[in-house]
């Protein structure tokens, strides 16, 4: 007979690994929806568990508290949007920087126009872009800065400039700006303002081509001027 686990006086029955994983996913989904609607500061563990239909002690048991759950939600959101595995698979076998850029933007455009765009993922990440929570600040050293260094190296390779050149830093901003805008923007308002924009799932390839041409033309033009000054 399997024994239960007691957490702060509350009994939580031991579950097979598959059931535990299911419970964790239920909590992540419910928490993602709550954080998207209210933000981290105005969300409680009780509300998350009620939404998930799970014992209120589960947040502490599985994630060590609401802070740990929020960190897990952010990690899940980042992985669903632009997972490291998806990016690595896209650029595998491509040695040319331009080909890598095109492959990465294919992944990005697919995410920006796919089902995720109407899920809690965009709302949660959008909140973090505008007003970083303690969970985001804690993961900055582990996740954000290493990825920023990789982006800087990639843009420097595209521009054929030293990695510490100011034009490279500005190029990173120029590359990321439209992507961040499409994460943050309200799709209904954007659709009304720019009805021909096209953000449905079948618009992904054309969006990817536009992002690629726009980014590449700008980076190459800036790089030409910057190299003249070296």
Domain assignment of residue 130, yes or no: yes
Beta strand 4-7 with 10-13 is antiparallel
Pick from 25, 211, 40, 24: nearest CA to 125: 40
Together in a domain, 39 and 141: no
Together in a domain, 183 and 118: yes
Domain assignment of residue 191, yes or no: yes
Together in a domain, 119 and 154: yes
Domain assignment of residue 108, yes or no: yes
Query: Across-strand partners of 10?
Result: 7
Together in a domain, 125 and 20: no
pLDDT at residue 196 greater than cutoff 80: yes
More confidently predicted of 209 and 135: 209
Domain assignment of residue 53, yes or no: yes
pLDDT-based confidence at 3, cuts 50/70/90?
Answer: very low
Together in a domain, 223 and 137: yes
Together in a domain, 86 and 183: yes
pLDDT at residue 44 greater than cutoff 90: yes
pLDDT-based confidence at 5, cuts 50/70/90?
Answer: very low
Q: What percent of the chain lies above the pLDDT cut of 70?
A: 90
Give mean pLDDT, residues 205-230: 93
More confidently predicted of 177 and 139: 177
Together in a domain, 143 and 42: no
Domain count, the chain: 2
Together in a domain, 41 and 153: no
**Which pLDDT belongs to residue 155?**
94
Together in a domain, 26 and 115: no
3-state secondary structure (DSSP) of residue 164? coil
**Which pLDDT belongs to residue 15?**
57
Domain CATH for 186: 1.10.357.10
Together in a domain, 28 and 83: no
Together in a domain, 81 and 46: no
Q: How many other CB atoms are found less than 10 A from the CB of residue 65?
A: 12
Together in a domain, 166 and 55: no
Structure tokens at 91: 């650029």
Domain CATH for 47: 1.10.10.60
Question: Are the CB atoms for 57 and 10 separated by under 8 Å?
Answer: yes
Structure tokens at 139: 């993961």
pLDDT-based confidence at 95, cuts 50/70/90?
Answer: confident
pLDDT-based confidence at 33, cuts 50/70/90?
Answer: very high
Structural domain harbouring 53: 4-64
Domain assignment of residue 178, yes or no: yes
3-state secondary structure (DSSP) of residue 146? helix
pLDDT at residue 112 greater than cutoff 50: yes
**Which pLDDT belongs to residue 7?**
41
Domain assignment of residue 135, yes or no: yes
Instruction: Work out the angle at residue 210's Cα, subtended by the Cα atoms of residues 208 and 211, and round it to the nearest 5 degrees.
Output: 65
Q: Where is the domain boundary, 33, 64, 95?
A: 64
């Amino acid at each position: 007979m399997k024994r239960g686990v007691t957490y702060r006086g509350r009994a939580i029955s031991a579950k097979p690994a598959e059931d535990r994983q299911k419970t964790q996913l239920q909590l992540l989904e419910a928490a993602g929806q709550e954080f998207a609607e209210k933000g981290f500061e105005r969300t409680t563990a009780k509300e998350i568990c009620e939404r998930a239909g799970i014992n209120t002690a589960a947040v502490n048991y599985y994630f060590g508290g609401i802070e740990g759950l929020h960190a897990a939600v952010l990690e899940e959101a980042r992985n669903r949007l632009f997972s490291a595995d998806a990016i690595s698979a896209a650029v595998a076998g491509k040695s040319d920087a331009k080909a890598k850029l095109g492959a990465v933007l294919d992944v990005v455009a697919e995410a920006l126009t796919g089902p995720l765009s109407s899920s809690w993922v965009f709302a949660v990440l959008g909140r973090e872009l505008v007003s970083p929570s303690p969970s985001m600040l804690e993961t900055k050293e582990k996740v954000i800065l290493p990825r920023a260094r990789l982006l800087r190296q990639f843009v420097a390779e595209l521009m054929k400039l030293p990695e510490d050149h100011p034009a490279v830093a500005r190029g990173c901003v120029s590359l990321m700006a439209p992507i961040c805008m499409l994460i943050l923007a309200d799709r209904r308002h954007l659709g009304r303002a720019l009805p021909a924009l096209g953000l449905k799932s079948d618009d992904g390839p054309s969006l990817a081509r536009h992002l690629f041409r726009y980014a590449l033309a700008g980076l190459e033009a800036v790089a030409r001027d910057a190299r003249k000054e070296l």
